[in-house]
Amino acid sequence: MPDLEAEDQKLVTLARSARARNGAAEGAAVRDTDGRTYAATTVELPSFRLTAVQGAVAAALSSGAEGLEAAAVVTADVLVDEASVQAVRDVAKLAPIVRAEPSGEIAEVLQP
């Protein structure tokens, strides 16, 4: 996998940190079109479930973000959850989604 640009690598670092801090299945981070970043982890409650990416997208939008430049998810899963992909695509059709292993190794970059 090719090296990521510094700003995209920062998203992976933020996602890994969030995942480790909460002991969650996934950690994610997104960057908005103003360059601000938002991180989140998986939320699983009896009444609802959010993927880490959905949480990060929700944090960005609730903070006034008008668009996204990129997203990253750190997970042991071999695929990015479809709900996560759709959450990013609802806001930014062309934003890349980086999937990284818990070690931080880049597994793939999803392009539209």
pLDDT digits (tens, 9 = 90+) for 62-74: 999 999 999 999 9
Residue 87 lies in a domain: yes
pLDDT band at 86 (very low <50, low <70, confident <90, very high): very high
Residue 11 lies in a domain: yes
Structure-block tokens of residue 61: 């939008």
**Residue 29, CB-side half-sphere exposure with 13 Å CA sphere:** 21
Residue 66 lies in a domain: yes
Which of 79, 39, 76, 75 is CA-nearest to residue 57? 39
Residue 24 lies in a domain: yes
Domain that holds residue 105: 6-110
Residue 64 lies in a domain: yes
Residue 57 lies in a domain: yes
pLDDT of 96 > 80? The answer is: yes
pTM of the model: 0.94
pLDDT of 1 > 60? The answer is: no
CA distance 42 to 45: 10
CATH number at residue 84: 3.40.140.10
pLDDT digits (tens, 9 = 90+) for 24-62: 999 999 999 999 999 999 999 999 999 999 999 999 999
Which of 97, 52, 106 is CA-nearest to residue 71? 97
CA distance 31 to 65: 9
Q: Count the domains in the chain.
A: 1
Residue 1 lies in a domain: no
